[in-house]
């Protein structure tokens, strides 16, 4: 490698770091583009070789910690997290490599990614970048997205029942706001009349007397009247948020399906790709969702 580049020795990493630190974004982008152009023939060659042999493209995806100084302020997006054997400031290096018959392993893409995000978006971004580097992609498994749409429609039916309950609660609260002021006024008159009657008759107000009950009813009515506007706002906000989430999820999935279908229509010669990932990409529902979103394979 040194002979091919006419180098007597590899440059020290500190010199490379100083050089890159002095580069502006345009220079970095230009260097990256040149490196991609240099590596592209090797990638094309290995992809063609594998396809001639009828073998799938085996891609290894990995998130490797890349630590920086804990006191550094020059790495936007760096977060504290587990870095090797201890907690430190750094990134995840998202790396994708091709299992190559000629070279063993061929680097495709890599980029820094903040560590404070869930795994699925990183995995999707890595797959998209990997496919751009390979210049090929497999058949999109649209049947999985259609299955998710069917499941979503079932959940929509269940959620619509909840939404109907929220709408009925709104109607109840709106009716309460219309009737409660009159009820409060009526109870205030009743309490005032009873107070005057008890005073004239010299009757003491007992715990379970009519006057005590009227006072209790008036207090409860005032409380319901004070709470109704806030309860109505909460019910309206919950219904609106729920409706927006349902609509956004449904539309996003439909758009995703349309994009995958378009990919299949324009992909006359799909490849078979096997993605190999570790458990670091599986968090919560991401394991199921990741499989449904990536759609790699025959």
Q: What is the DSSP secondary-structure string of 33-94?
A: HHHHHHHHHHHHHHHHHHHHTT-PEEEEEEEEEEE--TT--SSTT-EEEEETTEEEEEEEEE
Q: Are residues 129 and 187 in the same domain?
A: no
In a domain, 172, yes or no: yes
Asked which of 60-74, 92-106, 159-173, 265-279 is least confident by mean pLDDT, the reply is 159-173
The helix or strand, by DSSP H or E, that contains position 191, with its residue range, turns out to be: helix 142-201
Confidence grade of residue 4 (pLDDT, cut at 50, 70, 90): low
Q: Are residues 256 and 272 in the same domain?
A: no
The first and second tokens of residue 61, run together, are: 């995806």
Predicted local distance difference test score (pLDDT) of residue 51: 92
Q: Are residues 251 and 274 in the same domain?
A: no
In a domain, 120, yes or no: yes
Task: Characterize the bridge pairing of strands 86-100 and 273-276.
Answer: unpaired
In a domain, 86, yes or no: yes
- The residue with greater pLDDT, 35 or 76, is 35
Predicted local distance difference test score (pLDDT) of residue 272: 92
Confidence grade of residue 46 (pLDDT, cut at 50, 70, 90): very high
Predicted local distance difference test score (pLDDT) of residue 149: 84
Q: Which of 111, 104, 145, 106 is nearest to 126 (CA)?
A: 111
In a domain, 2, yes or no: no
Mean pLDDT in residue range 278-298:
50
- DSSP state for residue 105 in the 8-state scheme: E
Q: Are residues 166 and 251 in the same domain?
A: yes
Is the confidence at residue 107, as pLDDT, over 80? yes
In a domain, 82, yes or no: yes
> Total domain count for the chain?
2
Q: Is 140 helix (H, G, I), strand (E, B) or coil?
A: coil
In a domain, 6, yes or no: no
Domain enclosing residue 71, as ranges: 13-139+267-294
C-alpha span between 187 and 149 (Å, rounded)? 54
Predicted local distance difference test score (pLDDT) of residue 297: 43
Q: Are residues 152 and 243 in the same domain?
A: yes
Predicted local distance difference test score (pLDDT) of residue 293: 41
Point out which residues pair with 104 in neighbouring strands.
100
């Amino acid at each position: 490698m040194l002979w091919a580049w006419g180098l007597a020795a590899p440059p020290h990493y500190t010199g490379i770091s100083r050089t890159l630190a002095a580069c502006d974004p345009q220079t970095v982008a230009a260097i990256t583009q040149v490196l991609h152009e240099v590596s592209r023939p090797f990638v094309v060659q290995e992809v063609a070789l594998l396809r001639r042999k009828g073998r799938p493209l085996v891609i290894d995806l990995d998130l490797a910690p890349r630590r920086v100084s804990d006191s550094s302020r020059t790495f936007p997006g760096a977060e504290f997290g587990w870095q090797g054997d201890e907690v430190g400031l750094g990134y995840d290096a998202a790396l994708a490599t091709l299992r190559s018959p000629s070279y063993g392993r061929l680097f495709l893409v890599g980029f820094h990614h903040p560590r404070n995000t869930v795994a699925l978006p990183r995995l999707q971004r890595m797959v998209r970048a990997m496919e751009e580097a390979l210049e090929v992609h497999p058949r999109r498994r649209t049947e999985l997205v259609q299955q998710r749409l069917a499941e979503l429609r079932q959940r929509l039916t269940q959620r619509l029942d909840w939404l109907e309950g929220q709408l009925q609660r709104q109607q109840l609260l709106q009716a309460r706001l219309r009737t409660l002021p009159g009820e409060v006024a009526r109870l205030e008159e009743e309490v005032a009349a009873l107070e005057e009657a008890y005073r004239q008759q010299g009757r003491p107000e007992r715990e379970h007397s009519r006057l005590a009950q009227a006072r209790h009813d008036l207090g409860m009515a005032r409380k319901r009247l004070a709470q109704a506007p806030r309860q109505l706002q909460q019910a309206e906000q919950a219904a609106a948020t729920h409706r927006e989430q349902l609509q956004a999820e449904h539309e996003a999935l439909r758009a995703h399906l349309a994009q995958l279908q378009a990919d299949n229509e324009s992909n006359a010669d799909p490849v078979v790709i096997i993605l190999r990932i570790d458990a670091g990409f599986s968090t919560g529902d991401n394991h199921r969702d990741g499989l449904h979103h990536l759609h790699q394979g025959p």
